[in-house]
Each structure stands twice: as C-alpha cells, then as structure tokens.
Amino acid sequence: MTFPRRRIERIEDFVPFAPGTALEAMEVRVESGDDEHLAITMPVCERVRQPAGLLHGGMTVFLMESAASMHACWGIDLAERMPVGVEINATHLRAVSDGSVRAIARVVRRSRTMIVHLVEVYHVESGRLVSTGRATNYYVPAAKPEAQRERDTHRGSGSERA
C-alpha cells in the first residue's frame, strides 16, 4: 500500500488509504475525526459473519485496529514516520448479526514514539456497545523512496573514492 506523503489533517485525507485494501473490501467508511478521535463504520454482511451468522470477533478487531492505526497517522509527517501496530486487545460484550458497526478510537496517550487508543465498537442501529479494547501503535521511520535508497547506498559504498 502506498501511503500519501503528507499530513493527515482532515477525514478526506484518508481516501487514498482504501483502494485495494481490506478497508475497501469490507466497505469501511471514515465518518469523523480530529486530533483526539476517529470514527469509522462497517456494514455487518455475509463476508464479516462467522458460521453462526454473527459478526466475527476478528472482523470487530480488524475494525478496531483500523480506526486506531488510521488515527495514528493524524497530524504526523508520513514522509518521516509511520505507525505500526504493536498491541491490541478486545473484549466482546454482545453479538451483532445485522446493520452496521461503528468503531471510535480515542487517544489515551500520545508521545513522539507511540500512541495508545481506547477503541469502542457500537451497533449503529441500536447504539449499544458491542466491543471495547485498546490499541497501541509505535512510530517507525518511514521507508525511503527507491531513488533515495539508491543514493544512500552509493554514498556509503566507497565508490566516490577514486
């Protein structure tokens, strides 16, 4: 996936994230966001249900991690550093079999090297809490474009000496 090489400061800035990813396949939509939260929704349909017809717990965790990881991009220079998920936990509180679910990721702690979110998932139609959890992202240096890697490799190879 190619990330936009700029700051994410509006929900519209997330549009380049979805094409060709699980976000697109699961029809995840960004609803709202700011410095402190991000809300996304996903329909509960056949492809996200487990054999008993209920929303699969793994799909709920996918939605939770997506909300937290996307929000971890908010306001940072993606050309300099990228968030990488290092921990997630979830407690499923009730079953859902239809409608849509909304994950709301809220910042608990943010530092230069990491960000921790509390994530709650609600059934949109009833407003009832479905799952709750926490996700932690660590910021790593962004991958350099290929041309920059080649220049750095050439400089360090000693080939500039004659």
Q: What is the 3-state secondary structure (H, E, C) of the chain?
A: CCCCCCEECCHHHHHHHCCCCHHHHCCCEEEEEECCEEEEEEECCHHHECCCCCECHHHHHHHHHHHHHHHHCECCECCCEEEEEEEEEEEECCCCCCCEEEEEEEEEEECCCEEEEEEEEEECCCCCEEEEEEEEEEEEECCCCHHHHHHHHHHHCCCCCC
- Catalytic residue selected from 27, 31, 36, 65: 65
| CA separation for the pair 8, 70 (Å, rounded) | 9
| Listed residue (134, 93, 140) closest to 114, CA to CA | 140
User: Can 150 be counted among the known catalytic residues?
Assistant: no
For the annotated catalytic residues, the residue numbers are: 65
